[in-house]
Amino acid sequence: ALITEVVKPSRAIYFCTYSNSKSIFNELLPSDTPIVHICSAASAGFMSCTATNPIWFVKTRLQLDQRMYGSISALQCIRDIYQRHGLLGFYKGITASYFGISETIIHFVIYEFIKAQLRQRKESSRDSYNPDVKCTRDFVQFMAAGAVSKTCASTLAYPHEVARTRLRQEGDKYRSFFQTLFLVWREEGYQGLYRGLATQLVRQIPNTAIMMATYEAVVYMLSPPVYGASLTNDD
């Protein structure tokens, strides 16, 4: 439970980096274009992965070791990793995590595209748009955009999740990202690269839908002159 609570700042790191990167890239590149979203998502993914990989690594090892050896505490797990592999041991699987940034990029490019299309549709029908239901409608639309974009991204990039989990297992069977992908494909076939995808989608889609809508709502409430204008001045 403690590890689960500690992981939460990864979202704060991600969205903080994404927002700031987007502001910077909007000044350097054509504003609000896919290349801006790609660069912003890549920067945010890199920062989040680097900062939180040790936490995720310990969390995964706890889950795997408890299945094999029974009860083990987080401190015991941390001490065991450090004694065997040193500080670098906490970054095992970081390469797979970096490849996982592709999922983040796909997710945000699709999400920003859907959001832009929704904004254009609202602007073209401003006369018939009811401001009394705008907040609820926007919230639902952000949730739908988050769900669709996350489904596409997770499905396309899921093999990296399999590789990352295998690399965090104890032992030397899985040594590198591409070696792990090839070994899983050779031993388990194509299905092995997507083992657990359904569970991942059931867990991630509702979480992401709520998270994106909450993020948009918080940004809207905290910065009404800038962000809120696109939502409130369409009437």
Q: Where are the domains of the chain?
A: 1-92, 116-235
**pTM > 0.75: yes or no:** no
pLDDT in tens, 50-105: 988 888 888 878 877 666 556 777 788 888 888 888 888 888 878 878 888 989 89
From residue 165, how far is each of 102, 168, 212 by CA, in Å? 17, 5, 25
What is the H or E stretch that residue 107 is in? helix 101-124
Mean of all residue pLDDT scores within the chain = 81
56-65, 72-81, 168-177, 220-229: range with lowest mean pLDDT: 220-229
Residue 171, Ramachandran bin (φ over 0: left; ψ between -120 and 50: alpha; else beta): left
